[in-house]
Amino acid sequence: MKAPSRRGVSSRKPPADAPMSKWRYQLLVGLVLLGLGLLVWRVIDLHIVDRTFLKGQGDARTVRVDPIPAHRGMIVDRNGEPLAISTPVVTLWANPQDLPDDGILRLQLAKALGQDLDQLNERIDYYADREFMYLRRRMTPAQAQSVLDLRVPGVHKREEYKRYYPAGEVIAQLVGVTNVDDQGQEGLELAYDSYLAGEPGRRRVLKDRRGQLVRDLEVLREAEPGGNLMLSVDQRLQYLAYRELKNAVDENGADGGVLVMLDARTGEVLAMANQPSYNPNNREGLDPAGLRNQAIVDAMEPGSVIKPLAMSALLETGRFPLNTTVNTTPGSMRIDRFTIRDVSNNGVLDLAGILRKSSNIGMAKLTLSLDEPVVPDLYRALGFGQSPETGFPGEATGTMPAPVRWSSSQWAALSYGYGLSVSPLQLASAFTAIVNDGRRMPASLLKQPVAPEGEQVISADVAAQVLNMMDKVVEPGTGARRALVPGYSVAGKTGTVRKTGSSGYEKKTYRSLFVGIAPVSDPRIIAVVMIDHPREGAYYGGAIAAPVFSRIAGSALRVLDVPPDREVSVDE
């Protein structure tokens, strides 16, 4: 049975090849023409109307602003001899994502860098998701060029500077060091880092898609080099001081030592040597103990070398004529619950004899005969317990006991060098008052354009009297005779200090000290020598430290062209 058909409705579809209706064709053509018109307009707009957009996009991919490293200032000695200089080096870096996987190129790159291939591949894999990694830092330009000549994709260079220290270990602790980024880390390199570093510049450069430099376009800001720093140190004297100190430490099997030499007239540091030391140009296997500038940052009990300063305080009272005598028999003395002793029973001693024999009992009796704390008061005036204000990082202030509830034993101990602590630099600076008519000169690590006026801390007469006493301490037949310098007069004082440990003063560990002045007729140098824990037999300051002063003072006075002032026969 047939289904009825619908009237007026055709069930046939139009053939596939039927022509497109006119209005649809016109719409399609119009859309195409409109799109082309918009593209043409955009091209015209970018190239003529708004051409800066394309230029900016292109520059963003090829023009870069690179830093211009600033040349770090030199550190020189008082005569202009270089102690720290910067040399140009090249740092190689890479974009790990651009480095090829080719094994041959990787092997050539590793060999040129002087690295192990496996380790290089591990580092590349580690930084694979980043765009920067160092390949090798601070290479010489020739070494870096041998790597760049391989033309390995993704390898780039950066110009930098590396610090070099011509004097090496001789003056390492004073000058200090910089890190891999040429920033001060120790010593004067750290203290004056902002002054030495300068200000980096900026330049606009054109680079290709691999980051290689194509052309310098312009300098946006010139690099400002750092300032040069002139120290007070004389490199000639520094070498002499370091050599003699190192020999003394080695010969006596000591833990270390310090030698500080000042210009007696100005307080400027002419030499400052430390043992142990290190080579700042090669820090592999560095012993951290060698970094410490013990002359400035370490404080110690000075012992008997401080007695001339205490004697100055006693004389300043006017209560002790030079012919004053003290009976030190029987060589020991009980104060509070402590017993102090002299090395031997010296009997009756005058003031000069107390210094010459280094009598603890004589100093204690004189000090305890006063009601005023004249000795600690003078110590403070000389800078003990205060910063020496040299600007050196970590400089020690030392310690001075507070004037509260002092016992008699504490008061007496200060007069012979116990119960307080000072740095070797503070000790040397204090003795400038003895040679400058009672005026203490502040210690300086930098060369001074004019000599400072100093601070009057004792009278000129007392200073002259104490210097004369110290002159008699260093005579043939005395315990300090080994400090004598042929041709020159020498004043000085020995000291032997017991070191402290976890349970108080140790029985068999000592510091051997000597403070010397030369020549007495017109003082030019003051030196402090400290040998820490000598183990080879003798340990007294006169036997260990005094000979070091003799050798360094004799050489230094000749270098400084100081004429001889006395014929001295050295009696060993």
Say if CB 31 and CB 164 are below 8 A apart.
no
Angle at 30 between CA 24 and CA 34, to 5 degrees: 150
Name the DSSP class of 48. Answer: I
Name the DSSP class of 421. Answer: B
Pairing of strands 229-230, 75-76: parallel
3-state secondary structure 480-516: CHHHCECCECCEEEEEEEEEEECCEEEEEEEEEEEEE
Pairing of strands 525-532, 256-263: antiparallel
What is d(CA 436, CA 452) in angstroms, rounded to the nearest whole number? 11
Closest CA to 425 of 300, 571, 327: 300
Say if CB 497 and CB 302 are below 8 A apart.
yes
CA distances (Å), origin 421, targets 301, 380, 399, 413: 4, 12, 5, 12
* H or E stretch at 134: strand 133-139
b/e sequence 511-545, b meaning 16+ C-beta within 10 Å: bbbbbbbbbbeebbbbbbbbbbbbeeeebbbbbbb
Other CB atoms within 10 Å distance of the CB of residue 29: 10
Q: Which of 232, 277, 304, 415 is catalytic?
A: 304
What is d(CA 197, CA 183) in angstroms, rounded to the nearest whole number? 7
Q: Residue 19: what residue type?
A: P
What is d(CA 285, CA 141) in angstroms, rounded to the nearest whole number? 26
Phi, psi of 303 (to 5 degrees): 70, -150
Verify whether residue 512 is a known catalytic residue: no
What is d(CA 142, CA 74) in angstroms, rounded to the nearest whole number? 24
Say if CB 210 and CB 154 are below 8 A apart.
yes
Other CB atoms within 10 Å distance of the CB of residue 212: 13
Other CB atoms within 10 Å distance of the CB of residue 3: 5
Ordered DSSP codes for 172-229: HHHH--B-TTS-B-SHHHHHTHHHHH-B-EEEEEEE-TTS-EEEEEEEEE--BPPPPE
Closest CA to 314 of 370, 356, 352, 359: 370
Catalytic residues, by residue number, are: 304
